Amino acid sequence: MKKQIESIPTEAMQAMEACDWQGNIRELENFIERSVILTDGPVLRAPLGELTGPSKSPDGTLLALERDHIVRVLRETGGVIAGTYGAALRLGIKRTTLQSMITRFDISREEWGH
C-alpha cells in the first residue's frame, strides 16, 4: 500500500497478542491490512474494536461484551465520538453508527466519565 509504518502502539500490540486468532494467520493478516488502510502517518492505527478479549461482563453475552467495549473506548477517548482521535474511528465504524449504538445500548455519559 506504499505506506511506511514505523511503529505500533503498545495498546495495539498487546490487543493483537491477546487475541485468539484460532490458528488462522489469514485472520491476523487481514486485520493488519485493515489497520494499514486506516493509518495516516507512521504510527499504525489498528481498529481495536474488531478484536475480542476476555469478558468483563457478568453474563458474558455478545451484546454485553459489545456494550462494555464501546464504553471502554469512549472512556479512553475522553468521550470524543468523531474525528481523528474519536471512538468511532477506533472502533472501525461510522460516527452515526456509534451514536445509534450508544442509544440502543442505553449508554449514558456518566458511564464514560462525562
pLDDT in tens, 2-59: 889 999 988 888 888 887 776 677 888 888 888 888 888 999 988 887 775 444 445 5
What is the predicted pLDDT for the residue at 37?
85
Q: Return d(Cα 38, Cα 78) in angstroms, integer.
A: 21
Give me the half-sphere count of Cα atoms (radius 13 Å) on the Cβ side of residue 100: 5
Q: Do residues 82 and 106 both lie within one domain?
A: yes
Q: Summarize the confidence of residues 84-98 as an average pLDDT.
A: 92
pLDDT, mean of residues 101-105? 89
pLDDT number for residue 23: 61
Identity (one letter) of the amino acid at 67?
Answer: R
**Residue 5: inside a domain:** no
Which pLDDT does position 65 carry in this prediction? 83
Which of the 8 DSSP states describes residue 77?
T
Residues 76 and 41 occupy one common structural domain: no
What's the pLDDT at 89?
A: 93
Q: Which three cell numbers stand for residue 52?
A: 475480542
Give the pLDDT score at 111: 84
Number of domains in the chain: 2
The answer to whether position 75 is within a domain reads yes
16 within domain boundaries: yes
66 & 95 share domain: yes
What is the span of the domain harbouring residue 22? 10-49
